[in-house]
């Protein structure tokens, strides 16, 4: 089968797999919620069967390009593709999404595993110089956002080791620059990537051996719980803990919270007066040891650094109402969630097409290795989230999602071993950040002159490190980078056309994406999917702009 035809067949197969996860929850009776061995069929498909089919399809239909000499000169091409996508922010976000029981978790898991394979098979993913300067600038901005997001995750994790945020950002940026020298000296850069991958998987294996059950059993047992509650040995009910960030805790049952640090505690209550409900905010000054009794529906506002203790056996605030609600949230069967799922697919697939160009000289054997590693890492992230909610549903209480999940080793294992595995996870994710930064350097080289690529990449690393001093949501930042790349780079490229038409499309896509991002908070509720994923509207607009400009110019001729 010719290369173009094989690629198109593979793309269609992968898109059908993605469409199935979006459509199945909307079918009458919700067949995806039927459990097989205690786990929903939808999850078996999204995290198991579909990635396997996608991997086999990519391996069967991939057609190597380039000479043997090019392959020998590019021995770590597939590993660099893995590093670009399997970055710290992606792995921790997938684990956190599974841990939280988010309605869009299945489609996110499958899209993360499949999007790089789509980039591998799509003919438009071949390396090519930028068709216009706007696309090049958008690609550079997208790389900067991706670097900022990953630096934010590393900085959040460094707090577990007692490293201040500014020091963590400086060390991470310095490590990225050191990695450039490492590769320039023709050191085995693939070793850095593999060491990072092993460091991520090793703690998960030890946790699984400690709890003595596989991830699917942990998922099944959690899904069968009547409520997600504080365990007997949870540090939140024994010694209490300090919140890493500000949080508003919502309580669904009476709960007695003990203050371990003095201060003013704010409680937001819903009261009914004259048959009309209204919100009342009450402030209480509590000394260390004082307790505050909360009623169902109350919201407790806690500032970062506040230390509190909860009651054992009570429901964890801000968690799912039950195991069933965590495993199969009712929101998953709504059209709004389906729209969000489409936004996830378009943003991630478009981002992969722009940020994961297929290198020449990539052999079939190395392609298989990369194609297997990506779904395997995604499955590891899913397992991490499942173990987290099974062993400690209060894990992310008042903490960044990445921080809470990486700390799971210290909560499940004895102090020396658990602490060592936490340190291993942090170091492994730092290595993956370095590998990601170096791989993104290749994206910059695709859109800039060779003599300017290193300067542009170094500048983006420095700017991202400085921006990291102002904490932002790493996952939303990463999605912004992928969405911008999808709207201003991938969509115009998919539409075809010459440089002039591509310029029009990139301008339309970038302008629409920036505009929707700026006004996202003011969009109506029914447009929530566009507010969350601006590429859902910006990318099609860019594609249509290219086609319209192509037709207009053809008529003038």
Phi, psi of 338 (to 5 degrees): -60, -40
Quick one: pLDDT band at residue 360, thresholds 50, 70, 90? Answer: low
Q: Which CATH architecture has domain 235-309?
A: Sandwich (2.60)
| Rounded Cα distance, 542 and 537, in Å | 9
Cβ neighbourhood burial of 522 (10 Å; 0-12, 13-18, 19+): exposed
Tens-place pLDDT, residues 16-57: 999 999 999 988 888 888 888 888 899 999 988 999 898 888
Q: Using the predicted structure, report yes or no on whether residue 74 has a pLDDT greater than 90.
A: no
Instruction: Write out the residue limits of the CATH 1.20.1740 domain(s) in the chain.
Output: 3-213+323-556
In the three-class reduction of DSSP (H, G, I as helix; E, B as strand; rest coil), residue 292 is classed as: strand
Nearest residue to 106 (alpha-carbon basis) of 49, 36, 27:
49
| Rounded Cα distance, 41 and 479, in Å | 28
Q: Using the predicted structure, report yes or no on whether residue 453 has a pLDDT greater than 60.
A: yes
Instruction: Tell me the C-alpha to C-alpha distance, in Å, between residue 181 and each of 75, 87, 257, 429, 438.
Output: 18, 21, 53, 20, 10
Which of these ranges, 235-239, 359-363, 539-543, has the smallest mean pLDDT?
Answer: 359-363
Phi, psi of 272 (to 5 degrees): -115, 120
The model's pTM is 0.89
Nearest residue to 81 (alpha-carbon basis) of 219, 232, 190, 230:
190
Quick one: pLDDT band at residue 112, thresholds 50, 70, 90? Answer: very high
Residues with Cβ < 8 Å from 239, sequence gap 6 or more? 309
Topology, domain 3-213+323-556: Amino acid/polyamine transporter I (1.20.1740)
Query: What confidence score (pLDDT) does residue 192 get?
Result: 74
Tens-place pLDDT, residues 191-214: 777 788 888 888 888 998 888 899
| Rounded Cα distance, 103 and 392, in Å | 20
Q: Using the predicted structure, report yes or no on whether residue 542 has a pLDDT greater than 90.
A: yes
Structure-derived torsion over alpha carbons of residues 185, 187, 189, 194, reported in degrees to the nearest 10: -160
Tell me the two tokens of residue 64: 């190597």
Query: What confidence score (pLDDT) does residue 463 get?
Result: 93
Q: How many CB atoms lie within 10 A of CB 312?
A: 14
Tell me the two tokens of residue 484: 């911008």
* Range 440-453 average pLDDT: 78
| Rounded Cα distance, 106 and 474, in Å | 20
Q: Using the predicted structure, report yes or no on whether residue 278 has a pLDDT greater than 80.
A: no
In the three-class reduction of DSSP (H, G, I as helix; E, B as strand; rest coil), residue 498 is classed as: coil
Tell me the two tokens of residue 543: 């594609």
Q: How many CB atoms lie within 10 A of CB 9?
A: 15
Query: What confidence score (pLDDT) does residue 357 get?
Result: 62
Phi, psi of 465 (to 5 degrees): -65, -40
Angle, helix 474-485 to helix 88-100, in steps of 10 degrees: 120
Tens-place pLDDT, residues 519-538: 888 888 888 889 999 999 99
Q: Do 192 and 182 meet the contact criterion of CB atoms below 8 Å apart?
A: yes
Instruction: Write out the residue limits of the CATH 2.60.120 domain(s) in the chain.
Output: 235-309
Q: CA 184 from chain center: how many Å?
A: 30
Quick one: pLDDT band at residue 67, thresholds 50, 70, 90? Answer: very low
């Amino acid at each position: 089968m010719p290369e173009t035809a094989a690629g198109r067949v593979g793309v269609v197969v992968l898109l059908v797999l993605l469409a199935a996860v979006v459509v199945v929850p909307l079918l009458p009776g919700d067949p995806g919620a039927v459990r097989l061995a205690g786990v929903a069929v939808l999850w078996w498909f999204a995290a198991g069967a579909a990635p396997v089919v996608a991997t086999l399809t990519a391996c069967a239909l991939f057609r190597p390009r380039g000479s043997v000499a090019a392959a020998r000169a590019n021995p770590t091409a597939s590993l660099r593709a893995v590093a670009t996508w399997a970055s710290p922010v992606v792995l921790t976000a997938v684990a956190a999404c599974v841990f939280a029981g988010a309605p869009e978790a299945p489609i996110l898991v499958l899209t993360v595993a499949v999007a790089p394979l789509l980039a591998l098979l799509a003919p438009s993913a071949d390396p090519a110089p930028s068709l216009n300067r706007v696309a090049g600038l958008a690609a550079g901005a997208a790389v900067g956002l991706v670097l900022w997001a990953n630096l934010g995750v590393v900085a959040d994790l460094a707090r577990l080791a007692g490293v201040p945020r500014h020091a963590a950002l400086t060390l991470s940026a310095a490590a990225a620059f050191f990695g450039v020298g490492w590769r320039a000296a023709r050191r085995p850069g693939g070793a850095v990537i593999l060491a990072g991958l092993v460091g991520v998987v090793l703690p998960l294996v030890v946790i699984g051996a400690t709890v003595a059950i596989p991830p699917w059993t942990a998922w099944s047992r959690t899904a069968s719980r009547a409520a997600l509650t504080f365990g007997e040995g949870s540090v939140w009910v024994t010694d209490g803990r300090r919140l890493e960030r500000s949080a508003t805790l919502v309580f669904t049952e009476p709960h007695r919270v003990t203050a371990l640090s003095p201060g003013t505690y704010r409680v937001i209550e819903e009261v009914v007066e004259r048959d009309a409900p209204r919100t009342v905010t009450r402030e209480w000054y509590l000394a260390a040891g004082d307790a505050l009794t909360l009623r169902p529906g109350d919201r407790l506002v806690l500032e970062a650094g506040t230390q509190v203790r909860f009651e054992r056996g009570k429901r964890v605030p801000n968690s799912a109402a039950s195991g069933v609600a965590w495993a199969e949230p009712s929101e998953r069967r709504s059209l709004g969630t389906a729209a969000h799922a489409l936004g996830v697919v378009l943003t991630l697939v478009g981002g992969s097409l722009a940020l994961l160009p297929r290198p020449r000289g990539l052999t079939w054997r190395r392609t298989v290795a990369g194609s297997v590693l990506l779904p395997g890492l995604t499955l590891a992230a899913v397992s991490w989230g499942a173990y987290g909610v099974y062993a400690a549903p209060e894990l992310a209480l008042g903490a960044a999602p990445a921080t809470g999940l990486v700390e799971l080793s210290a909560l499940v294992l004895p102090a020396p071993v658990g602490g060592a595995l936490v340190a291993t996870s942090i170091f492994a994710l730092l290595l993956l950040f370095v590998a990601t930064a170096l791989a993104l350097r290749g994206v910059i080289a695709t859109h800039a002159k060779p003599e300017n690529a290193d300067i542009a990449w170094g500048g983006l690393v420095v700017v991202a490190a400085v921006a990291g001093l102002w904490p932002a949501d790493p996952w939303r930042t990463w999605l912004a980078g992928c969405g911008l790349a999808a709207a201003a780079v991938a969509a115009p490229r998919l539409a075809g056309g010459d440089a002039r038409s591509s310029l029009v499309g990139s301008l339309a896509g970038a302008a629409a994406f920036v505009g929707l991002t700026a006004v996202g908070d003011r969009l109506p509720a029914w447009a929530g999917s566009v507010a969350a994923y601006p590429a859902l509207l910006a990318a099609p607009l860019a594609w249509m702009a290219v086609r319209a400009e192509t037709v207009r110019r053809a008529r003038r001729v």
